[in-house]
Amino acid sequence: MPPPTLAVFTKNRVNPAYDAARLIADRLAAEAGARTIHYVPQTPDHVGEQKALVSEALAARPDAVLFNPTDDVEMAGDLARFAAAGIPVAVFINRMPGKVLTFVGSDDVAVGYKAAKALILGLGGTGGIVALDGTPSARTARDRTVGLQRAVAEVPGIRLLGSRIGYLQAAPARKAMAELLAAHPRIDGVWTANDVMAFGVLEALADAGRTAEVVGVNGLPAAIDHIEHGRMLASIDFSAFNIAAIATQAVLRHLAGKPVPPEIMVPAELIDRSNCQRWKVPFTERPSPAWDEIVR
């Protein structure tokens, strides 16, 4: 029999988190004697391109699919096409409705809340902050904003001065932050829905000759460096690497006839200067999380 083929869908090639997800999917598939085919829109997060890639994958008849949707609503019909073809799907990172083998992700409301609480603590419970929200079509981004709002509501001394959409990318976040800086003569802290936007925020702050405490999400290597050197306050280890690792193991287990739970939540830890050394290992050298450590 030919080796099983896994179709791996990620949203773009501009976020290093997805590079890490593809890397570990390739590694675990190869270790299991399987192969991967990657389907990535040329235009970041483009729904129409991902729809076309679904048709391409269906024509190739993979044995299983790892699916990170560009839009949890618009891609529902495309997810259903895999189900109709009898192809098992593990949706990962961005939750979406539909018939799937499993969903693998983290609690994004808790992630957004945890990042916001770190920012609030870093400001001593007082000050004005702004938010860089992610792409509205991304369930992860919407849920993280809910977490931010909950944290702010708990602390009367914190004022949310304004927010902009940074589309989970550095350049749009830099532009959005520049607009917020122009609108607000004092900004004490910046909450961002992912590290890549935090990097854009840091550039905008440098451009304006201003400073603020900045938090992000993903625990990317560049964010770890910023945290270590005091340029960022914190990030959250919402690890696309770990999530993709468990999603890959899930579909491989299913193909081997082993049970897989319908939902798997991967822990997401706060990263700050007190513990950031633990994350200074390149993704190429990081071990995959063991199935039994995550799925209990």
Residue given tokens 């870093």 in the structure block: 122
pLDDT band at 285 (very low <50, low <70, confident <90, very high): very high
Question: How many CA within 13 A on the CB side of residue 121?
Answer: 11
Query: What's the mean pLDDT in 220-226?
Result: 97
Other residues' Cβ atoms within 10 Å of the Cβ of residue 161: 16
Asked if domains 5-106+239-267 and 108-236 share a fold, the reply is yes
Amino acid present at 150:
R
Please state which CATH number belongs to domain 5-106+239-267: 3.40.50.2300
pLDDT above 70 coverage of the chain, percent = 100
β-strand pairing of 263-265 with 102-105? parallel
> In this model, does residue 128 exceed pLDDT 80?
yes
CB distance 33 to 255 below 8 Å: no
* pLDDT per residue as tens digits for the range 50-103: 999 999 999 999 999 999 999 999 999 999 999 999 999 999 999 999 999 999
Is residue 134's pLDDT more than 90?
yes
Average pLDDT over residues 110-139: 97
pLDDT (tens digit per residue) in 153-163: 999 999 999 99
At residue 271, the pLDDT reads 98
pLDDT at 2: 83
* pTM higher than 0.75: yes
Architecture of 108-236 per CATH?
3-Layer(aba) Sandwich (3.40)
> What's the mean per-residue pLDDT of the chain?
97
> How far is Cα 111 from Cα 95, in angstroms, rounded to an integer?
14
Q: Provide mean pLDDT across the span 104-132.
A: 98
Q: Specify whether the CB–CB gap between 215 and 190 falls below 8 A.
A: yes
* Residues 6+ positions from 251 with CB-CB distance below 8 Å: 6, 64, 65, 66, 88, 90, 101, 260
pLDDT at 193 (0 to 100): 97
Structure confidence by residue, pLDDT tens digits, 174-217? 999 999 999 999 999 999 999 999 999 999 999 999 999 999 99
Q: What is the pLDDT of residue 296?
A: 87
Q: Distance of CA 236 to CAs 90, 232, 263, 270, Å?
A: 23, 12, 21, 5
Instruction: Assess whether pLDDT exceeds 90 at residue 105.
Output: yes
Q: How confident is the model at residue 1 (pLDDT cuts 50, 70, 90)?
A: confident
List the domain boundaries for the chain.
5-106+239-267, 108-236
